[in-house]
Amino acid sequence: MSQKTRRVFLNSKTIAGTLFTGLTYRAAHAGERNELKVGLIGCGGRGNGAAVNALSADENTKLYAVGDAFLPKAQGAAEGLATQFEGRVDVEGRIFSGLDAYKQVVDCCDVVLLCEAPGFRYRSLRYAVEQGKHVFCEKPVATDAPGVRSVMKSTEIAKEKGLTLVSGLCWRYDLNVKDIMERVLDGVIGEITSARLTFMGGKLWTRPRAEDDTELMAQVRNWYNYSWLSGDFNVEQHVHTLDKALWAMHNVPPATCYGLGTRMQRTEQPAYGDIYDSMAAVFEYPNGTTLYSYCRQQNDCWGENNARFAGTKGFVSSTLGRGVITDLDGKVIYERQNVPSDMYSLEHIEMFKSIRGEIDTINNGDYMSKATMMGIMGREACYTGKKLKWDDELNSDKSYAPSAYEPDGTPWNAPDEQGRYKIQVPGLGQVYHTVTR
Ligand SMILES: NC(=O)c1ccc[n+]([C@@H]2O[C@H](COP(=O)([O-])OP(=O)(O)OC[C@H]3O[C@@H](n4cnc5c(N)ncnc54)[C@H](O)[C@@H]3O)[C@@H](O)[C@H]2O)c1
């Protein structure tokens, strides 16, 4: 069975609950666009946004189930989206909560949007593809190497089943960035020799513990600030910029990495958990190509979010804003005249076209796994102070996961009696932070 026929066959099963033996979905439903049931897992800011993108991208979709670790978040998303999309939200009896809510959402939907805390994503992705469901998978896809390896396996399962797997690494869908990147891949600046990659901004949010939270659920509520849940910000946020470099390098990951990192402003505990607020990592390729990567989340500092590439024939000075390509003397070879491009909408438009067989099956699993792994390798280089090898890191069993993904599971990092979490200090390992406020 060809990939497309097989995918279409699966679609016919999941969409209509009917088996069209020997007929393709499109042949059986010529001129028809069957309704697709969409499920949302993780009902926060991005989850609500992704649901809006999904319902807007394809008019024959409905939101059929929602799930969140916390019931009020799931209820809030259901209510808010029902107001925005009259008649397109049908979640009665399918508002799920808890750390296993993903299973219930996956079980009753055709397409699932994975927008929960990143530390859980490898689990929901595996379950979704095993159940034969199409997936929109937010970034990053894991927070440690075992998680990345699981996602790589899920990617293969999705391929074998002909399922659509779209990544939330949204810049790959931006029309303006795509135009610049295609020129880079075509060799407009020759072989890339180095890159400067930035994601520098201010501190992000913290969320206080609720009265009845266990320690593990308090960490889930405040997920950004724990490495096992967010991956730290070199993974959670900077993965976007690292992915641009991976893209420019034809999706070939670096061989080695070293880095520097610390936390200078994130001193309050327990609010800021165990993550850093500044990291710089140097990624090296065997041929000498070097990617210099800088990210920071500190207030009142200079900010930038960009990817610049130097090649044997020229430079790309920007892939954000207006892309400019120059030769080695600085003469402008090409300047992008930006067109309106909503990458968040575009990734969903493409996803539904893929699911409906209007374009080839999308599977973004390869680059989303590798970009996430680059973030993890950079983080580990900063945490440990060691020079690391890609193959060792990808095959590593190092994990910060809790004893169990249950409310009373024991987190990897639990606070001492003064409410202090241990922090990774390069060269010293894990030590208690000295400042409490
Ligand atoms: N592509 C982008 O540009 C972009 C932008 C923002 C966020 N994101 C990604 O989207 C994801 C969510 O980010 P956000 O900003 O919406 O955060 P958020 O905190 O607003 O939402 C996350 C939600 O997931 C819930 N959750 C946590 N663990 C869960 C679990 N095991 N099962 C079900 N629900 C769970 C939380 O309770 C919360 O409601 C993150 O991976 C983030 O990196 C991507």
Residue among 75, 116, 376 to mutate when testing ligand 1 (max atoms within 8 A of CB)? 116
Ligand 1 neighbour 99 (Cβ under 6 A): yes
Nearest Cα neighbor of 431 from 269, 237, 228, 231 is 269
Residue among 40, 41, 46, 305 to mutate when testing ligand 1 (max atoms within 8 A of CB)? 46
Q: In this structure, are 90 and 205 located in the same domain?
A: no
Residue 427, domain CATH = 3.30.360.10
Q: In this structure, are 298 and 357 located in the same domain?
A: no
Atom of ligand 1 nearest to the CA of 97: 33
Q: In this structure, are 119 and 247 located in the same domain?
A: no
Quick check: helix, strand or coil at residue 100? coil
Q: If you take atom 11 of ligand 1, which residue's CA is the nearest one?
A: 115
Q: How confident is the model over 280-324, as pLDDT tens digits?
A: 999 999 999 999 999 999 999 999 999 999 999 999 976 666 789
Q: If you take atom 6 of ligand 1, which residue's CA is the nearest one?
A: 46
Ligand 1 neighbour 231 (Cβ under 6 A): no
Residues 171, 244 contacting (CB under 8 angstroms): yes
Residue 437 belongs to a domain: no
Q: In this structure, are 36 and 118 located in the same domain?
A: yes
Ligand 1 neighbour 78 (Cβ under 6 A): no
Q: In this structure, are 161 and 243 located in the same domain?
A: no
Residue 96 belongs to a domain: yes
Count Cα neighbours of 94 within 13 Å in the Cβ-side half-sphere.
22
Ligand 1 neighbour 243 (Cβ under 6 A): no
The first and second tokens of residue 164, run together, are 């659509």
Give the model's confidence band at 402: pLDDT under 50 very low, under 70 low, under 90 confident, else very high. Answer: very high
Burial class (CB in 10 A: 0-12, 13-18, 19+), 189: buried
Residue 32 has pLDDT above 60, yes or no: no
Q: In this structure, are 197 and 278 located in the same domain?
A: yes
Least confident of 46-55, 220-229, 421-430: 421-430
Least confident of 136-145, 190-199, 311-320: 311-320
Q: How confident is the model over 73-130, as pLDDT tens digits?
A: 999 999 999 999 999 999 999 999 999 999 999 999 999 999 999 999 999 999 999 9
The contacts of residue 337 (CB under 8 Å, 6+ apart) are 322
Q: In this structure, are 319 and 417 located in the same domain?
A: yes
Q: How far is the CA of 338 from the centre of ligand 1 (A)?
A: 30
Q: In this structure, are 193 and 309 located in the same domain?
A: yes
The model carries a pTM of 0.93
Could you give the number of structural domains in the chain? 2
Q: In this structure, are 194 and 102 located in the same domain?
A: no
Q: In this structure, are 230 and 200 located in the same domain?
A: yes
Q: In this structure, are 14 and 60 located in the same domain?
A: yes
Q: Looking at 354, 371, 388, which one is the last position of a domain?
A: 371
Q: How far is the CA of 90 from the centre of ligand 1 (A)?
A: 22
Distance CA 173, CA 196 (A): 21
Residue 60 belongs to a domain: yes
Residue 100 domain boundaries: 3-171+344-371
Q: How far is the CA of 295 from the centre of ligand 1 (A)?
A: 20
Q: How confident is the model over 144-168, as pLDDT tens digits?
A: 999 999 999 999 999 999 999 999 9
Distance CA 390, CA 257 (A): 8
Residue among 138, 221, 226, 351 to mutate when testing ligand 1 (max atoms within 8 A of CB)? 138
Residue 365 belongs to a domain: yes
